[in-house]
Structure 1
Amino acid sequence: MFHRRSNSHRDQEDDSLRHESKVNELRNAIGPITGRSLQYCTDACLRRYLEARSWNVDKAKKMLEETLKWRSTYKPEEIRWHEVAIEGETGKVYRANFHDRQGRTVLILRPGKQNTKSLDNQLRHLVYLLENAILNLPEGQEQMAWLIDFTGWSISNSVPIRTARDTINILQNHYPERLAIAFLYNPPRIFEAFWKIVKYFLDAKTFQKVKFVYPKNVDSVELMRSYFDDENLPTEFGGKAIWSMTMKSSQD
């Protein structure tokens, strides 16, 4: 027993040293950077990109460079609430004022409450909320959980496939390892046709993080409740909490 524990501890130390070496290798590979790029590329950030690319430095470098280019043009940190506030009027996406059992920030999405036609502004709104959620992560926590409520969703008010693809691209490629879990709560049967197309845009790691939950499926409900306290979980997701939301104040 002692030897097994000792070996396990030594293996963890070896992994930690290897990962630290990979972080240093990636930092050297991307070369000198300044300004916001330097601020963005913390050791924790580099580890996320390496993790997303199975610790392959060349692939992580390519991914990170693409993100730095995207951030330099899209400027997500400069998006302000008043610029995207119209997107939040119906509460279709917002940061919850509770955390999951691991202390992670929670984003609640209600695609059935879609209220605008501007696809670009919808993406800017989501990016604003991602940046906001990251800023509000508890110390030592790097990931967030998503709860997606399909009440009122239909093909007629669903986002176009292109927008779904662009959303997935931003999440996977520019916010790697930020998503811990995504629960799709009670999607209607017609969603299956939409999902059959959208799922091909997901990489294997992200796909494994997407969980379908149906109120009558005990196993799926228990899985979701293993992540959330019933007292915090809104009634729309089978919990006991009734949340009222003031959109602007909840996102500041």
Structure 2
Amino acid sequence: MFQRKNSQNHNESGPLLQDAKVKELRIALGPLAGRSLKYCTDACLRRYLEARNWNVGKAKKMLEETLKWRATYKPEEIRWHEVAHEGETGKVFRANFHDHLGRPVLIMRPGKQNTRSGEGNIRHLVYMLENAILNLVEGQEQMSWLIDFTGWSLSTSPPIKTTRDIINILQNHYPERLATAFLYNPPRIFETFWKAVKYFLDQKTSQKVKFVYPNDKDSGELMRSYFDVENLPSEFGGNATLKYDHVEFSRLMAGDDIKAAKFWGFDDDPCHVANGHHLREEAPEPV
């Protein structure tokens, strides 16, 4: 998704050479077991190689750091009931539609910020990233972000330190996961915040960020090139109605938690949140 600042992106040409690099990286990593083996698919290795300009040594170092982070932070073990309070306002959630290439869409509404907990915000976002990745269709490695700035102000934005910590996690441990981030109708004052954030991003990542505005012809054409306007919420220039039902979304996440547990190979005791209460029960099927 993100890469470290000052990195330059030159793709190695030729699928055969890329395949050879993947094999070389796998050999360099040595024997893997358990969740590390599950995580390090060929597609995963390709993303880390892409993030490090197909330099096997640098990709190995980056991936090993991710495996250490995952072993400690255990993002695959975060469960919805642990972060549900962060999502009560619908500040970040997975949309019920995809972009034109079948990529999952995360909707972010920073103006709906409801807590000041840096760690809470980070764990909630990491959970949503893991959930989006869990729901990727076969052959798809990336996701799109739709960010609605309605109600956003500097007072509702997270501290720069929290933002920097989030960027570090994203760029170090979720490389090449972001396809495009659409910043819809950001206020002029956001430019100050963006300059501070942009400092931590490399040029390739910055180019994935698109500023779009209502009643702007180019912005409208850009959104239609990525999304079906019948699915796209009106908040982003489409014809659909954006609705976030926290109880219903909690049921969906409870079902996905079971799916995640099966994927990673451990049992899970499903739990979902309804009206702010943790309820243990038979989880419904995802919708």
Normalised by the length of structure 1, the TM-score is 0.92
Residue of structure 2 equivalent to 1:45: 44
Gap runs ≥5 in structure 2: 1-12, 257-287
What is the Cα deviation at residue 33 of structure 1? 1.6
Matched, 1:201 2:200: yes
- Secondary structure of the structure 2 residue equivalent to 1:184: strand
Aligned to 1:146: 145
SS at match of 2:176: coil
Q: Distance in 1 between matches of 2:158 and 2:43?
A: 33
Matched to 1:143, the amino acid is Q
Aligned to 1:105: 104
CA–CA distance in structure 2, aligned partners of residues 207 and 138 of structure 1: 26
- Quote how far apart the aligned CAs of 1:59 are: 1.1
Task: Report the Cα offset of residue 220 of structure 1.
Answer: 2.3
Q: CA deviation at 1:249?
A: 2.9
Q: Is the 8 A contact 1:95 1:250 kept in 2?
A: no
2:252 & 2:94 partners in 1: Cα distance?
A: 7
CA–CA distance in 1 between the matches of 2:116 and 2:143? 27
Any idea what SS the aligned residue of 2:172 has?
Answer: helix
Letter in 2 for 1:211: K
Counterpart in the other structure of 1:120: 119
Shift of 1:244: 2.0
2: distance between equivalents of 1:149 and 1:231? 18
- Give 2:236's aligned residue: 237
1:136 counterpart residue number = 135
The one-letter code matched in structure 1 to 2:218 is D
**Counterpart residue identity of residue 241, structure 1:** A
Q: Aligned-pair distance for 1:243?
A: 3.0
Cα deviation 1:33-60 (Å, max 9, x = unaligned) = 2111111001010000001111111111
Tell me if the contact between 1:172 and 1:206 (Cα under 8 Å) persists in the aligned partners.
no
Q: Which residue of 1 aligns with 2:251?
A: 249
Quote the Cα distance in structure 1 between the aligned partners of 2:57 and 2:119.
Answer: 31
1:223 to 1:16, Cα distance in 2 relative to 1, 3 A: same
Tell me which stretches of 4 or more aligned residues in structure 1 moved more than 6 Å.
Answer: none
Instruction: State the percentage of identical aligned residues.
Output: 75
SS of the equivalent of 2:183 reads strand
What residue identity is the alignment partner of 1:36? R
Structure 1 portions without partners, runs of 5+: 1-13
Report 1:28-177 matches (<5 A). 28-177=27-176
Secondary structure of 2:199's partner?
Answer: helix
Distance across 2 between alignment mates of 1:249 and 1:107? 18
Deviation at 1:213, TM superposition (A): 0.4
Cα pair distance change 1:126/1:208, threshold 3 Å: same
Aligned mates of 2:244, 2:25 — CA distance in 1 = 42
**Structure 2 match to 1:6:** none
Residue pair 2:111, 2:150 contacting (<8 A) in 1 also: yes
Q: How far apart are residue 250 of structure 1 and its match?
A: 4.1
Counterpart-to-counterpart distance in 1, 2:242 and 2:149: 17
Q: Report the TM-score, using the length of structure 2 for normalisation.
A: 0.81
Which residue number in structure 1 is paired with residue 227 of structure 2? 228
Give me the whole-angstrom Cα distance separating, in 2, the residues matched to 1:206 and 1:64. Answer: 19
- Higher helix fraction (1 or 2): 1
- Is residue 92–residue 113 contact of structure 1 (8 Å, CA) maintained in 2? yes
